[in-house]
Amino acid sequence: MKKIVISEFMDESAVLELSRNNTVVYDKNLFQNREELLHVCKDADAVIVRNKTQVDQELLSAAVKMKAVGRLGVGLDNIDTEYCEKHAVSVITARGANSISVAEYVLTGIFYFSRQYYLTTQVKSGAWPRERMIGSEAAGKTLGLIGFGDIARTVAKKASCLDMDIVAYDPYLKETDAVWKEYGGSAVKPCSLEEVLRQADVVSLHIPLCPETKNLFTASLLEKTKKGSIFINSSRGGVVDENALAQLLKKGHFKGAVLDVFANEPLEAENPFIGIENCLLTPHIAGVTEESNARISSLIAREISKILQG
């Protein structure tokens, strides 16, 4: 029997599936108890995590039997992938399995601020802000995608059905790459980062957190976005200067910001976005729906089983 440690929430049926042929330690709060986590991982063959468990050198070097790390998502900023590569520990991500959920989240954000739904609280308290709530259509507007991986491609596919024009920046894709056409038809145009920010009515980030992207969105870059645009971040909080973004929101530069990810999660009392009206804040749920959780969990369970069975 192989031992698998699962330290954050996973779809129950996938946990049951893994338990048939393995010894499974499943505790969705284990990531919060570092000492216990290190202890149970010592003789584990695999660990399955979301974004909160730090799979770092300390954990990996103590877990001498570790063959695989399963990531119930796609971001790898909590995993020391270099160490894993050097020590032949496979890292399995759920690539593609949460793209639909994130894409639908982005579309919700576009409509939310295009129609200024945040003002409906005024209706509940007896006001009638009919003129303030004259919004705008998504059709004919330009969506700017930062990063053009699986998730951004799914966003592009769906946004092109709304008759939006799409510009995208991805330094890892050549202009001639077939994916530009494959995922957006004629609607997606590859551009430089600054060109995307200059043109876009909606900017949506789809980049990993890594040394190249940490604090990429500085005050001066954020200022290059169009006045009145919508800013959506469902990638990682660490890629944006949060104080600078909050300042620009307060100054009325953006129509609104949709933020699912933050430098520190859960939010601390002094988080700069708390209390800003035109800000939609969600607790890192863009990629997590019932459907994506089931897809992600069964994909990771299957792939981890394959590795452990050799």
Ligand X SMILES: O=C(O)[C@H](O)COP(=O)(O)O
Which residues bind to ligand X, rule: CB under 6 A?
50-51, 72-75, 98, 287-288
Minimum Å gap between C-beta 99 and ligand X is 10
Using the minimum distance from each CB to ligand X, give the nearer residue, 73 or 238. Answer: 73
Kindly tell me which of 107 and 296 has the beta carbon lying closer to ligand X. 296
- Cross-strand bridge partners of residue 203: 144, 231
Residue nearest to ligand X (CB): 73
Residues 179 and 124: their CA atoms lie apart, in Å, by 45
Neighbour tally for 81: CB within 10 Å? 15
**Residues designated as active site:** 236, 265, 284
Could you tell me the smallest distance in angstroms from the CB atom of residue 273 to ligand X? 18
Determine contact, residues 95/300, Cβ cutoff 8 Å.
no
**Structure-token match 């050549």, residue found:** 174
Sign of CA dihedral 159, 161, 167, 170: positive
Min CB(74)–ligand X separation in Å = 4
- Is 247 or 282 the residue whose CB approaches ligand X more closely? 282
Q: Closer to ligand X at the Cβ: 233 or 305?
A: 233
Secondary structure (DSSP) of 11-64: -HHHHHHHHHHEEEEE-TTGGG-HHHHHHHHTT-SEEEE-SSS-B-HHHHHH-T
**Nearest-approach distance from CB 67 to ligand X, in angstroms:** 21
